[in-house]
A and B are shown apart, each in its own frame.
Chain A
Amino acid sequence: SQKIEQNSEALNIQEGKTATLTCNYTNYSPAYLQWYRQDPGRGPVFLLLIRENEKEKRKERLKVTFDTTLKQSLFHITASQPADSATYLCALGGYSSASKIIFGSGTRLSIRP
């Protein structure tokens, strides 16, 4: 069955460092991958989308890579700030317009001052 794996352990990073989160998947060939941010008690908020033919995407301090050979996406936050502390979810989308997005369970990121 299709499976998405994100590091279930919280990631603790010193402010100013680069945070790197991993999303691995199996038994799936996604057309694209999305990253969302979720704050406690809130719904997820869309951050970035990267398509299967794109290797890298950037938005301000965020960078996402997508390696379809390794079946992996990396999500980087450079110059991290305490305000970046949240849970980050990856989600996969298929080629068919009728296929549904599959979400990972998320990784909690904490940036300490």
Chain B
Amino acid sequence: DVKVTQSSRYLVKRTGEKVFLECVQDMDHENMFWYRQDPGLGLRLIYFSYDVKMKEKGDIPEGYSVSREKKERFSLILESASTNQTSMYLCASSPGESLTDTQYFGPGTRLTVL
């Protein structure tokens, strides 16, 4: 079974802090994604990566950056956390043939910014 793990289930940070969210997948998938999920808005794509050291902006990249130094690990960075970044953050991975392949999600990190 594909396993996608995220470093924290719950995280509380203060405004202005730098926040790191880590995601690791164990199935040698090429593609990795970061989403945020808010009530009524569904899943919104922040960034994705189709290869090591490659990254592409999604629909809402402002205020975020990412890093993919190793194939299995994709990190999301909030440079200076703000209260409007309080959300559920979901990491996903998919095999390399297409970005539209079935995605495998991690359990999510619920981030609260005070």
Residues of A in contact with B (beta carbons under 8 Å apart):
4, 8, 31-32, 34, 41-46, 49, 89, 93-94, 97-101, 103-106
Contacts and interface: CB of A to CB of B under 8 A. Distances in A.
Interface in B80-96: 90-92
Nearest to B38: A105
Contacts of B92: 43
Interface string B91-114: 110000111101111111010000
Contacts of B45: 100
A31 B100 CA distance: 10
Name which of A31, A32, A43, A45 has the most chain B CB atoms within 10 A of its CB.
A43
Contact of B105 (A44, A94, A105): A44
Given A31-B100, A98-B99, A42 B43 contact: no
Nearest first, the 4 closest Cβ-Cβ pairs linking A and B are A43-B105, A93-B100, A105-B42, A97-B98
Nearest to B99: A100
B100 A89 contact: no
B4 interface: yes
Contact of A101 (B41, B100, B107, B110): B100
Interface residues of B, number: 25
B43 A103 contact: yes
Given A8-B40, A100-B58, A103-B43, A42 B108 contact: yes
Contacts of B108: 41-43
Contacts of A104: 42
A46 B103 contact: yes
A97 B42 contact: no
Nearest to A45: B105
B102 A34 contact: yes
B48 interface: yes
A103 B108 CA distance: 16
6 contacts: A43-B92, A93-B98, A97-B97, A99-B99, A100-B99, A104-B42
Interface string B53-94: 000001000000000000000000000000000000011100
